[in-house]
Structure 1
Amino acid sequence: MNLSSQLHETAKASAGKIAYYFLDKLCTYAELDEAITKFASGLEKLGVKKGDHIALLLGNSPQFVVSLYGALRLGATVIPVNPIYTADEIGYILNNGDVKVVVGLDLMIPLAERVHHLLPKVEHYIICKTEQNAVSFAEEFSIYPKMKSFSDVVAAGDLSFIGAELQDDDTALILYTSGTTGKPKGAMLTHKNLYRNAKDIGDYLKINHDDRVITALPMFHVFCLTVALNAPLLSGATILIVPKFSPKEIFRLAKQYEATVFAGVPTMYNFLFQYPEVNTEDLKHFRLCISGGASMPVALLQNFEAKFNVLISEGYGLSEASPVTCFNPLDRPRKPGSIGTSILHVENKVVNELGEELPIGEVGELIVRGPNVMKGYYKMPEETAATIKDGWLYTGDLARMDKEGYFYIVDRKKDLIIVGGYNVYPREVEEVIYNHKDVVEAAVLGIPDPNQGEAVSAYAVTKNPELTAEQLQEYCKKYLAKYKVPASIEFLEELPKNTTGKILRRALKKQVTHI
């Protein structure tokens, strides 16, 4: 079984069941399944075959769901991309990922115009129309022969289309994660990885056909993909698609559609908690709130639960594990500050540098094994071998386990910064800063932020005393997504280093803290 075939079975058994609401318009499982089948058929008519790579540069929308499941039904490999990435970031992923088809919004047309000559492997751009773009499709498409309308691709498809025969180990998704070398790595997730993790977390959290799940997390992010999209659809639930997170909209949907499940990062919970003139009644139908992406401050968790009388279950995951490995159970006491226990069919353990399991309470590296673990990094065999050893995925996160099997993350993966649930690796930002002609050296750290959890902070040595932090920030905006741009930049006379000349971020953090 796989995601697309299971949705097809649900559509046959519960044709009239509502699959999603989007901007207050509903779509049944039968209607969704038909659109998926026709999109898959339309792709085939464009020459797309099993194994070809399709990138999705879309926000939360029905087109994302149809594109994802349609491509999977065809047997293609999907590469979700954050649509707010810069041209350089998108270009790298499309080229490295050997992308043949790009599905994106019409707002992407100017970007395609600038960079399409650098993407020779891309054969088709499938464009989804937005209300903001007043230019007609016909006018735009006469300029770019590679461009097709999303609606036209669907309309050209046949309902008689029979999907490809899929194997469990076929690559279904490639998720690009920020790399410590400054270049993203593509984690290859199989059909089995995605189906098993969605099924297991759905069962673990008791998601069922009566649930109405608010899908406000970005769909291109693996947290949303598994927990707020795939798991509910596997269970025959209804998802409430939110184009962009807004506390006002979340409260409206929760009340109007009697939503039962919400998944978000701590930043979202903080905005909901701080929103004025709301009380317990506004979320009275919630039976469960799910938190991930970053550790939730215990005070926020307790205050939110007290105000809205709802349980927040924290979990843990990473792209390479599809992503969930741990969650606080619903049938046992929840422990604030803990990422919970191992979910069904997944093993977590804490080991030392030799890979030997450590006694209860001792801190070591968290490693994971299960049907959710990726097959490897795309075109990176050495990185794959360093990350997966004897079937175990080495997360790089430091953790400990208590006597009841609850895990606690002690430190972030090396120097990882998590801004509002998004991963930012310092090296990626540092490389951009280093490219500025007036910068001698730089280091990037994560600092606490009351709204985003963490913020990116940079420290640099410059040969131009006239260079300002604002000028350097504007430079970074040209090459980095907004959430990666340093929120603060401080100039120092020198950066702390070890005897080999390596910049010591931890020492810098202590030094800056005591200034």
Structure 2
Amino acid sequence: MNISTRLTEAAGQYGDKPAYYFEGEAVSYAKLDGMVTRFASGLQEMGIQKGDHVALLLGNSPYFVIGMYGALRAGATVIPVNPIYTTAEIGYILGNGDVKGVIALDLLVPLFEQMNGQLPALEHVIVCETPPSEQKQNFRVEEAVIRTKMKSFTTMLSKEYSSFSRPELDEEDTAVILYTSGTTGKPKGAMLSHKNIYRNAADVADYLKMNDADKVVATLPMFHVFCLTVSLNAPLMSGASLIIVPRFSPKEVFRLIKEYDATVFAGVPTMYNFMLQYEEGLKEDVETLRLCISGGASMPVALLKGFEQKFNVVISEGYGLSEAAPVTCFNPLDRPRKAGSIGMNIVNVENKVVNELGEEVPPNQVGELIVKGPNVMKGYYKMPEETAHTIRDGWLYTGDLARMDEEGYFYIVDRKKDMIIVGGYNVYPREVEEVYYSHPEITEAAVLGIPDPEQGEAVMCYVVTANPNLTEEMLKEYGRGQLAKYKVPSSIEFLEELPKNTTGKILRRALKEQVAGKARS
């Protein structure tokens, strides 16, 4: 079983029920499955075979859903790519990933023309027409279609194909390659098998009790694994309906939740923060939600409690990573949620906390979180040494520091590489960030370590506030009241906003580069 064949099963079960809503239009399961098969037929006709790599450079849209499921149905391996990456970043992934075909927005055609000749494996560029409301430049797909390698997505879907030969797929065949953000060195391509993708989506759907009555808001980027599993694959295999949101905005999310009586919302902490700060958002707008899910980054407890109090909903925090397809933990729905916890093992997945020797540590002791289950990747594409370092004896070493309490609830302490050592003492950035998020005048905070000639490292804090009267000393004094002396920031800087990636995750890496730039100058 894989997610593409499961979609066909769902079409047989749910037929005329909406599979998704997009810009006011409802598309049924039967119609979606038909479009997926037609697109897969078109890929086969142009020469895409089992095992070929097809990249998606698309935002949230039916193009993405049809393109991904169609490529998988044709037996291809899908590589989702952030469409706003730089030319160099996209070029690296397409080259390293041996991509034969690309499905991309028409706005990106100049980029492919620029890279022409640099990607010898690339044979096909399937162009998706940008809706008129989003077009930022004059570009006619008709002109692109006659160019070498260019095809029209819409034309492919409108054709009738004589037959479709569904390839035989093994559960261990590679379904998706997800390139990590590349926080150290070049991005790594995590190879996820059909079993990895299917099992994690099925287990998440089971754990979160998704069903055909659910309407799931898909506003996280679809090219990101969080959305891919939790807001796309799990709902579609459950008979739920997707509400596809092209891009996140608090106003639009509140409107769509209310208009469609949405039942499930998944977001990263930054999204919840924007929604909390949006003054026109009302409790009545979200009263149909039965489940709010947070992941992608640790949610500050102050933000979680503030959101829950304002909107009278419970946020269930979970944890995952690309290499695990991605979900490993979630707060259970049948018992009290623990604020600050990522929850417990989901079905079929085992998490544990170990020391540097790989030995499990006692409850409440900090160590590295490692994971085992049918969701763990096959390895990194063309990187056997990195694979051997990350997967040992069947366990995936996450690089995240965590602890587990006596009841089996896990807590992320911080990224292993982000830990700050001040005079021999460990300081976890998240602990300091939690303190500043609890300050009523601070909307965002990020902490990192900076070189210090006496202590080795010192704590640096960046904050965002709307109060121009707050001073660095006032915030240091606030920290002294709640933190040990060595954990109090030695310097605090005010920013208008913190750097974030496309999922809304705060980028400590960008802040570190900013610090390094100042040091050099």
In 1, distance between residues paired with 2:293 and 2:519?
Answer: 45
C-alpha distance in structure 2 between counterparts of 1:394 and 1:358, whole Å:
15
Which of residues 241, 251, 255 in structure 1 aligns to 2:258? 255
- The equivalences for 1:308-387 within 5 A come to 308-387=311-390
What letter matches 1:20 in structure 2? Y
Distance in 2 (CA, whole Å) between partners of 1:262 and 1:256 is 14
* Preserved CA contact (<8 Å) 2:18 2:29: yes
Which residue is 1:462 aligned to? none
Q: State the secondary structure of the residue aligned to 2:309.
A: helix
> 5+ unaligned residues in a row in structure 2: which ranges?
420-428, 431-447, 449-456, 466-505
> Displacement, 1:488?
4.5
Alpha-carbon distance between aligned partners in 1 of 2:516 and 2:396, rounded to the nearest angstrom: 37
Which residue of structure 2 aligns with residue 210 of structure 1?
213
Contact preservation (8 Å) 1:262, 1:290: yes
2:39, 2:515 → 1: CA distance? 47
Asked if 2 retains the 8 angstrom alpha-carbon contact of 1:39 and 1:157, the reply is no
- Structure 2 length-normalised TM: 0.81
Aligned to 2:475: none
Higher relative contact order (CA 8 A, sep 6+): 1
Q: CA deviation at 1:191?
A: 0.4
Match of 1:80, as an amino acid? P
Letter in 2 for 1:355: G
RMSD: 2.5
1:381-460 to 2 correspondences below 5 Å = 381-415=384-418, 448=462, 450=464
Cross-structure match for 2:270: 267
Query: Could you report, residue by residue, the CA deviation over 1:258-278 in whole angstroms, capped at 9, with x for unpaired residues?
Result: 000000000000111111123
Aligned 8 A contact 1:189 1:320 in 2: yes
Gaps of 5+ in 1: 419-425, 427-442, 452-481, 496-515
How many residues end up aligned between the 2 structures? 443
Q: Which residue pairs with 1:119 in the alignment?
A: 119
| Pair 1:276–1:229, CA change in 2 (3 A) | same
- For 1:156, the equivalent position in structure 2 comes to 159
CA contact (8 A) 1:36 1:69 kept: yes
CA distances 1:332-370 after superposition (whole Å, capped 9, x unpaired): 111001110000000000111111111111111110000
**Residues 128-207 of structure 1 correspond to what in structure 2 (within 5 A)?**
128-130=128-130, 131=132, 132=135, 134-142=138-146, 144-156=147-159, 158=161, 160-179=163-182, 181-207=184-210
Change beyond 3 A, Cα 1:449–1:3: farther
Contact 2:368 2:416 in 1 (8 A): no
Percentage of pairs with the same residue: 65
Aligned partners of 2:251 and 2:281 also within 8 Å: no
Q: How far did 1:405 drift?
A: 0.1
C-alpha contact 2:368 2:400 (8 A) present in aligned 1? yes
Distance 1:198 1:359, change over 3 A: same
Map of 1:287 onto structure 2:
290
Q: Which residue of 2 aligns with 1:237?
A: 240
Does the aligned pair in 1 maintain the 2:79–2:177 contact within 8 Å?
yes
Residues 38, 159 of structure 1: 8 Å contact kept: no
Give the alignment's TM-score, normalised by structure 1.
0.82
> How far has the Cα of 1:449 moved from its partner?
5.0
Matched with 1:29 is 29
Does 1:63 pair with 2:63?
yes
Name the counterpart of 2:299.
296
C-alpha spacing 1:393/1:285, structure 2 compared with 1 (3 Å): same
Which segments of structure 1 move beyond 6 Å, counting only runs of 4 or more?
none
User: Shift of the alpha carbon at 1:178?
Assistant: 2.8
Cα 1:485–1:354, aligned 2, differ >3 Å: closer, same or farther?
closer
Q: How many Å separate the matches in 2 of 1:290 and 1:56?
A: 26
Opposite residue 397 of structure 2, the aligned amino acid is: Y
Change (3 A) 1:61 1:447: farther
Q: Secondary structure at the match of 1:268?
A: helix
**Could you tell me how far apart the structure 2 residues matched to 1:277 and 1:121 are?**
50
| Secondary structure, counterpart of 1:78 in structure 2 | strand
